Structure 1
């Protein structure tokens, strides 16, 4: 009996009929997942790119402004961001004007307001972002535009929801600073 079992196992090991079907059954689901994941990754990076371009557009719009801006202006800027960006989720926008003092070697918050789901920046938040700000000369001001949104992939490939946040800064172009009107 042991001899026949051994003979059966050797014959089973050497038999190659049906291996293509077994390999296809193993590989095709992984290949299909990889194809779908590539499409989702491409869409995610495209969404990230359009969100950054939309944030740069809003930042450029604000840097050219010579009059004071108000909450309605920021709401409309968020509408512009949403129309340019390909994010499907609810987005929010935060605009802050930051100045620098070389006497204190410190950044100061002139004003900050948000729209959408976000509030303005506080002093603690400014201190946390100083590593991302460029070196400024004394008294120079900087307009910081931050956008916040989420990318929800159309097909679940194991990523879940991805945060798509942007951080863009620019200097005022035609006025010494961007003023806030309440």
Structure 2
């Protein structure tokens, strides 16, 4: 019995050594280990790229709307504001609703205050500005001359990532604020009742 037992042990030992030295099938094992990481990195790269792309679209859309309004020499009415909102939505082309706020300001240099002449909002994420709360964005506004005027366009939408990539990368708000000076007339009138500031 003892020699047979030693012989069996020797066979098992040789089999284990041969198995340990064998390399066939190692590519399949490595592929199974690396494929999840490879797919995750592809999805994560696309998600981060998509977030930056969406941010760039938002800011470009806000600049386009501000530039169009700055060249206006007529009356801004409800149809005009709706068209600007449609333009913004077409440029942004996002998976979430977009909110736009257009505000026309003047600056009283003597009292160092901004006065809201009109403020239009399309969408639901932002309220209209008024003289009582416009100081909230005062640090974000550039220096203005006395009696100067300015068009401020703000956009907001929620970024919804196409893939869940962990690390708490979930939905977040994208906010943009751009401003420009009127190019044609210093006083751009607005006849849209929803834009009147109380």
Q: 1:70 to 1:157 in 2, by over 3 A?
A: same
C-alpha deviations, 1:20-46, integer Å up to 9, x for none?
Answer: 777655544233212211111111111
* Structure 1: stretches of 5+ with no match in the other structure: 1-10
Residue 155 of structure 1 corresponds to 163
> Does residue 79 of structure 1 match 2:89?
no
Residue 25 to residue 67, structure 1, CA distance change in 2 (3 Å): same
Q: Which runs of 4+ in 1 moved over 3 A?
A: 15-28
| CA distance in 1: counterparts of 2:59 and 2:38, whole angstroms | 32
Q: Residue 103 of structure 1 aligns to a residue in which SS?
A: coil
Q: Which runs of 5+ in 2 are unaligned?
A: 1-15, 194-198
Summarize the alignment of residues 1-182 of structure 1 with structure 2, pairs less than 5 Å apart: 25-117=32-124, 118-158=126-166, 159-181=169-191, 182=193
Residue equivalent to 2:4 = none
Q: Which has the larger radius of gyration?
A: 2
Q: Distance in 2 between matches of 1:30 and 1:162?
A: 25
State TM-score, norm by structure 2. Answer: 0.76
Distance in 1 of aligned mates of 2:133 and 2:95: 27
Q: How many residues align?
A: 171
Q: Could you tell me whether the CA contact under 8 Å between 2:107 and 2:115 is conserved in 1?
A: yes
Contact 2:114 2:131 in 1 (8 A): no
CA distance in 1, matches of 2:155, 2:79: 17
Distance 2:21 2:156 in 1: 56
Whether the 8 Å CA contact 1:143–1:178 is kept in 2: the answer is no
Check whether the contact 1:93–1:147 (CA below 8 A) recurs between aligned residues: yes
Cα distance in 1 for partners of 2:134, 2:51 equals 29
